[in-house]
Every structure is written in structure tokens, then in C-alpha cells.
Chain A
């Protein structure tokens, strides 16, 4: 069966450190993998998208890697700040007739302590 797993339900780190979140999937062939931030009671906000033929993407303090052999994506926040505290969701989009439809992981709650 198809599964998307974000390995940590919660991650606590100290301000200034790098947060690394993991997303693993099975029985999918995603065309795109995306990362979103969700604050309590709000809709998800898009952060980064990486395509199946890309290995790494960066945006400011954020970095995403995508390994289609391992079926894994890593999401890094460098120089983390308390304002980065939120739930981070990975999501797969398989493309084709499913274009635009996202399948989400369960999320990792990140808390950055001052």
C-alpha cells in the first residue's frame, strides 16, 4: 500500500541550530515533492517544490533534498529561529491525471527554543 511517513512527530531544537526533517514514501512515483508550513488553525503555506529529476533545492535558509532511489526527502532549516516553530508537512504530487492533487504526510511539529 502507499505510504508517506514523516519520521518525527515532534522535533525540538535550540535557536541557531539546523533543523532536519525527514519524509519517506513507499509505493509512489511522485513527479513532485513539496514542503509546506502550517501554523495552528491556518491553511498550509507553500515553501519549496522539488522535481523528481532534481536532487537539491534551496531558498534562503531552507534546503530540500530528494532521493528517488531511497524514496526520501530531507528538509533543512539552517540558523533556526523561534519564529520557525510550526508544523511542517511534506506532500507528494504524482502528476498525470492527478495533477494538482496532493497526498500529505502526517507532519512534524518543530519547536525552536530561544
Chain B
């Protein structure tokens, strides 16, 4: 069964509004989760590292004030896209690394965001 769950699977929002995407680690506690973005026909690009109980670490070029990450518990990280614009429309995917299973990294099913 799924190890990492994302919600919602897809969402449509109006330009200028904010959208929250949840990533849950179902089988184990995760002090670190990762958020990726994937545009159509492109590969996954790491956006940020979500750290439980502390600030997220953002990759170069990713606006931290636009993509708010909260990792308030050991099983939940949220990504909030603030003041969304059509160019933010993308596939957002989270991942969790399970060191107890040979460092295997598990991905969520992804969340499709469409901003209209």
C-alpha cells in the first residue's frame, strides 16, 4: 500500500488565491520531507527540503514567501502556494526517505494544481 499520501490529488483555484497541499508519511515518522515540482514533459525539480520543527530549506530560485512549507509534525508536511498565478500550474510531488528500508525514497502520488 501507499507509504506517502498526498492530498488533494488535483485542485483548481482562481488566480490570486492560496492553495494548500498536504503530504503525509503513513508508515513511519519523517523528520525530513522533500517537495518537487514537475511541469508537463519535464523532469522533477526539487523545490525545498521540509524539516520537522524548523524552517524549510529552499533551492535556488524558489521563492520562500510564495511557497510556504510547514512541517509541524513527524508525519505531515504542507506546501501552500500563495497568491497563485497560472504559471504556478504544475504537478507537485513530495517524497520521504526511509532509512530503515535501505534509504529507499518514497514519493507521493502527486497533486495537480491548475490556476485559472
A-B contact pairs, 30 of them (CB 8 A): A32-B103, A34-B105, A36-B107, A41-B112, A42-B109, A42-B110, A43-B4, A43-B93, A43-B107, A43-B108, A43-B110, A44-B93, A44-B107, A46-B104, A46-B105, A46-B107, A49-B103, A49-B104, A89-B44, A100-B34, A100-B97, A101-B34, A102-B44, A102-B46, A102-B105, A103-B46, A104-B43, A104-B44, A104-B45, A106-B43
Identify which of residues 91-111 in chain B touch chain A, using a CB-to-CB cut-off of 8 Å: 91, 93, 95, 97, 102-110
Give CA–CA (A90, B104) in the complex, Å. Answer: 14
Map CB proximity to A onto B36-79 as digits: 1 under 8 Å, 0 otherwise: 00000011111001000000000000000000000000000000
B interface: dominant SS: strand
Q: Which residues of B contact A107 (CB under 8 A)?
A: 43
